[in-house]
Structure 1
Amino acid sequence: MTAGAPATDTSTRATQAGGAPPRSGALRTALLAVIAVALLVIGGALAVALGIGDDEAPATPGADSVDAGFSRDMSIHHDQGVEMANLALERSTDPAIRGLAFDIAETQNNQVGRMRGWLALWGLTPTGGERMAWMADSHTGGHDMSGMDGALMPGMATEEELAELRTLSGTEFDVQFLRLMIRHHEGGAGMAQYGAEHADQAVVRSLAASIGDSQAAETSLMVGLLSARGGTPLPPP
């Protein structure tokens, strides 16, 4: 070594020569191994969630299945519930009504996202098929529900009723909102019960049961709020 020349360690010389510092190859190998294990774990979890590789997992639902019909129709039903709840958030000044409306909008928006996500996962569109054809007559009061228009699904408000609601304010608005939302929840109860009992996918049955339970509790709350404001419920759907 020439006197006065700077010292150069082994790793620096290796790097300058075009090589990698010692142990860098081993480090990369270890990191790749960790990543591979993580991907296997994630893939396995996804496979379990979707039933991939499980001979006992239900087949992907078809367009005419209870799972698909419930997910499509309950999403549409929820859409109107969210619309009315958002209207209450805009027009009502009653804290109890606003709190209720916020809970309904947040909960049902989340549930719509889940149901439409399933439909996309199953390769199905969020619309199409015969409305309510997935429910047997015994769960719809003995009436034929197939081929019905979306606005006439059980408990849903007509366009005329929604237009009238938009013209109201104050307690008059609160009373009519509660009347329409009570009927809306009651109309969806049969759909939720049927989905909970007859869907093939466990996630669909679980959500349907949850919808039925939460909306029954909300209905009881709304009946009390309506009575306190001098209103009476609309006829059952």
Structure 2
Amino acid sequence: MENPGKSAKLFAAAAVVVVVAAALFLVLGRGGTPGDASPEAGFARDMATHHAQAVEMAFVIRDKSESREIRSLAFDIINTQANQRGMFLGWLQQWGLNPVGEQRPMAWMAGHGHDGASAAPGAMPGMATAAELDRLGELRGTQAEVLFLQLMTRHHEGGVQMAEGLLKLSDREEVAGMARKIVTGQAGEIKLMTDMLRHRNAQPFPSLLK
């Protein structure tokens, strides 16, 4: 006769295996690709939205600034972030995932430096408000350049936060590699924009980075 205690232990062990397998399926999905609730999917969706606003702001200042250095910076941001955004959306398509998803923004980083569970819908670090975008559209000359640099510096800091958050949660090659590029590239532009603000007798907004 089979030992009841041994059977119970085997049942419990099997239950643990099932739970772990279900969790892995949720995160990775079929064939090892990221699942809908994975950090990779959340990062790709949120960063695509984040980049879209950066491109929008860069177009605004490119069309109104007379400064060669500002226009050159705007051109670089438009090209780099539009291309990266295309890659994020391409990954989601390749993974068979909806580009929008059902989770609220930043939920993938909940408990990892950003309280995505309690954040208001659409709350991503560094994003400009509608009022700030309206103000950028209204200003001219040096005032517009200063506000653009302040908004974009904060925006880049938010992007760095998100990329560093992904690197803590994922080592998937293509996604982690892009996150490292974002950290390096945007950190360099933050320094450049801080110098541009100084030359215009202005300062960045309070930093989001610790």
TM band (smaller chain): 0.7 to 0.9
Q: Are 2:108 and 1:139 aligned?
A: no
Aligned to 1:114: 87
8 A Cα contact 2:146 2:197, kept in partner: yes
Aligned to 1:130: 104
Larger Rg: 1
CA deviations over 1:105-152 (Å, ceiling 9, x no partner):
100000000010000111111112221011143423xxx2235322x3
Superposition map of 1:159-198 within 5 A: 159-198=130-169
**Alpha-carbon distance between aligned partners in 1 of 2:174 and 2:202, rounded to the nearest angstrom:** 38
Superposition map of 1:24-43 within 5 A: none
The residue matched to 1:226 in structure 2 has which SS?
Answer: helix
Aligned to 2:121: 149
8 A Cα contact 1:192 1:208, kept in partner: yes
Letter in 2 for 1:232: Q
Letter in 2 for 1:130: R
**Alpha-carbon distance between aligned partners in 2 of 1:84 and 1:114, rounded to the nearest angstrom:** 20
Superposition map of 1:39-58 within 5 A: none
Moved over 4 A (4+): none
Aligned residues with identical type, % of pairs:
47
Q: 1:84 Cα deviation (Å)?
A: 0.4
Aligned to 1:72: 45
* Paired residue total: 177
Q: 1:236 Cα deviation (Å)?
A: 2.8
8 A Cα contact 2:112 2:165, kept in partner: no
The residue matched to 2:107 in structure 1 has which SS?
Answer: coil
More helix by percentage:
2
The residue matched to 1:61 in structure 2 has which SS?
Answer: coil
**Alpha-carbon distance between aligned partners in 1 of 2:171 and 2:157, rounded to the nearest angstrom:** 24
8 A Cα contact 1:198 1:205, kept in partner: no
The residue matched to 2:201 in structure 1 has which SS?
Answer: coil
Letter in 1 for 2:107: A
Q: Are 2:205 and 1:231 aligned?
A: no
Q: 1:219 Cα deviation (Å)?
A: 0.2
CA deviations over 1:28-48 (Å, ceiling 9, x no partner):
xxxxxxxxxxxxxxxxxxxxx
CA RMSD after TM alignment? 1.6
CA deviations over 1:191-233 (Å, ceiling 9, x no partner):
1012233224210000011011100000000000011011111
**Alpha-carbon distance between aligned partners in 1 of 2:53 and 2:183, rounded to the nearest angstrom:** 17
TM-score by length of 2: 0.80
Aligned to 2:60: 87
Unpaired segments of 5 or more residues in structure 2? 1-30
**Alpha-carbon distance between aligned partners in 2 of 1:199 and 1:184, rounded to the nearest angstrom:** 23
Aligned to 2:7: none
8 A Cα contact 2:163 2:182, kept in partner: yes
Q: 1:169 Cα deviation (Å)?
A: 0.7
Aligned to 2:27: none
8 A Cα contact 2:126 2:157, kept in partner: yes
Letter in 1 for 2:52: D
